[in-house]
Amino acid sequence: MGRSIVSILVLIGLAGCAVQPEATTEPSQANVASSLDTDPRSQAIYQILVGEFAGQRGDKAAAAEAYGEAARQAQSPAVAERAARIAVFAEREDLAREAAERWRTLAPTSQGPRRLLALLALRQDDADAAYGHLKAILPEDAAALEKALAEMGAFVANEAANDTGIAVMARLADDYPEQRMAHYIEARVARQAGDAERAVAAAERALERSADWRAARLLRVRALLAGERVDEAIDALHQLVADNPEDYDLRLLLARTLAERGRRQSALDQFQRVLEARPEDARALYAGALVALERGDKARARGWLERLVSLGQRTDAAHYYLGRIAEDEGDYAEARDRYSRTGGSYDHQAQIRLALMAADGGAVGEAIERLERLRSNNPDTRLQAWQAQGQLLRDAGRIEAAIEAYDQGLEVAEDNVDLLYARAMTRIQAGDIEAAISDLRAVLDQDPDNAHALNALGYTLANNTDRYAEAEELIRKAYAQLPEDPAVIDSMGWIAYKQGRLQAAERYLRQAYDLSGQAEIAAHLGEVLWQRDKRDAARQVWNEALQAHPNAETITETMERLSP
């Protein structure tokens, strides 16, 4: 149980009895009892022996019972402490509380028993008892008080990040209203307990007493994010970075937060500044490269990924994404080379890309065979392989076969959101709008905040039904999460167009087109311009987009429909 019996007896001043340290055979209780007197000291020794032997054979319950009795007999705070801790380990809170109280009686100035009693009270959701024990061990000196409160906050946050912990910390904050740490720890516990609004309020009270306190400002940002007050959080984080321009970790946090919250261009700008300061930071290189890829900035992404390769950091991921860039640019030899150098967790993704490349080259059968081998050799990749098979069949114009592939994948995992989403997009292409809507609703049933599904369902309703109010609500939810995503901005413009808000529609669609240059968005923007009697401008947008996308059917169909 962590110590020899002799060392324990020496510690508690009971080593005068005859104990043989070299003995390895457990004596019977009868023999031990017969060798001891019946006075409390001897009984304590006996119970300690029983407890230690029980612990050695893994019988936590018996060890806790024996040590509990030893604590009752011995006049030793060390025995009481060990009894209390063994009882906690054995999940015998009744014995733990009794031993801790005994420990407190024997060592009235020690903080240890109070802390343990507070822990037990927190676990029993007894806020009054926990508060009483914690309050009793706080010092009166102001400087020592702040440190003690910080330690206490960490203790409660680790042990009771729940309503009980919040209640205890709130009472302590009321007791010390001018002590910034008291409000800070209330905020910390509240945030960990999931009460974001309370965490924000408590952090703000801490900042009222210490406006430049970096830790409290950062805690407030995290609480705002937890409460989905994203704009406020990002504004506050921007200000924190502005006030601490040389703080590398803060700027990296800002970059990551912007990326996670869909502010990709702003995130990219911050990653650029981060990497100017530390050009070999693999964390920033990798995260920044992914954001650059999402923004379509392939040159910057390529440079950062190549730097990762040269550093020997995250090379599997770097080669995979360099392969994706080469594939997108039509350099299939380079893409195959990069994929061949991809290993680890990215190997199966590289195999899927190789299959999709084969299908793009017309070798659909070869691609399907590659995916079948992948499913056979790596069962964990089955769902991704079915999704890839559906995609390549869809791209080949074999829509029904694509839906069948998604169906087969969903037989393995009927609620897989990626397969449901992909099948929904394919069903839209097949004209089966109600089935697509059903799939998208199934995605949102499982993941209500899935921004892409929110956007897709909203756009589908806007484009194919007259349920414009519901469509707008869905699209706005997606936009709140991804305000810089061209597809979502396009949907904002399209629902505005459907509702007759042409000026707003033009503004959103022009922003989306400027960000992406996509053919479908060009078709939408041109249609809105046409309806606003800006027909020369509409033709200019369409012609410009056709130069970049000469086979864009969405543009030619729109042009023929509006200007036959």
pTM higher than the cut 0.75: no
- The residue range of the domain holding 95 is 1-110
Per-residue pLDDT band for 18 (boundaries 50, 70, 90) equals very low
Average pLDDT over the chain, rounded to whole?
Answer: 88
Decide which of 110, 127, 142 is a domain's last residue: 110
Which of these three, 110, 132, 147, is where a domain ends?
110
CA quadruple 43, 45, 50, 55: dihedral sign: positive
Cβ density class 384-403: b for 16+ within 10 Å, e for less? bbbbbbbbbbbeeeebebbb
Question: Is residue 106 in a domain?
Answer: yes
> Cα 137 vs. chain centroid, distance in angstroms?
36
Predicted pLDDT at 3: 55
Mean pLDDT of 14-21: 39
For residue 147, what are the contacts with CB-CB under 8 A and spacing of at least 6? none
157 located within any domain? no
**What's the N-to-C CA distance of the chain in angstroms?**
88
pLDDT of amino acid 465:
94
Asked if 444 and 457 count as a contact pair (C-beta separation under 8 A), the reply is yes
194: left (phi over 0), alpha (psi -120 to 50) or beta: left
DSSP 27: P
Alpha-carbon torsion (24, 29, 34, 39), positive or negative? positive
Residue 19 lies in a domain: yes
- CA-nearest of 241, 248, 203, 247 to 222 is 203
pLDDT for residue 545 is more than 50: yes
CA distance 472 to 492: 8
Structural domain contains residue 176: no
In a domain, 78, yes or no: yes
Residue 22 lies in a domain: yes
- Is residue 248 a part of any domain in this protein? no
Residue 196 lies in a domain: no
Question: Token match 């046409």: residue?
Answer: 530
Above 50 in pLDDT, residue 20?
no
3-state secondary structure 35-51: CCCCCHHHHHHHHHHHH
pLDDT reading at 9 higher than 80: no
Of 58, 90, 110, the domain-final residue: 110
Q: How many domains does the chain have?
A: 2
CATH code, domain carrying 545: 1.25.40.10
The full DSSP string for 316-345 is HHHHHHHHHHHHHTT-HHHHHHHHHT--GG
**What does the pLDDT look like over 360-415, one tens digit per residue?**
888 999 999 999 999 988 888 899 999 999 999 999 999 999 999 999 999 988 88
User: What does the block give as tokens for 16?
Assistant: 């005068």
pLDDT for residue 89 = 86
263-311, pLDDT tens digit by residue?
888 999 999 999 999 999 999 999 999 999 988 899 999 999 999 999 9
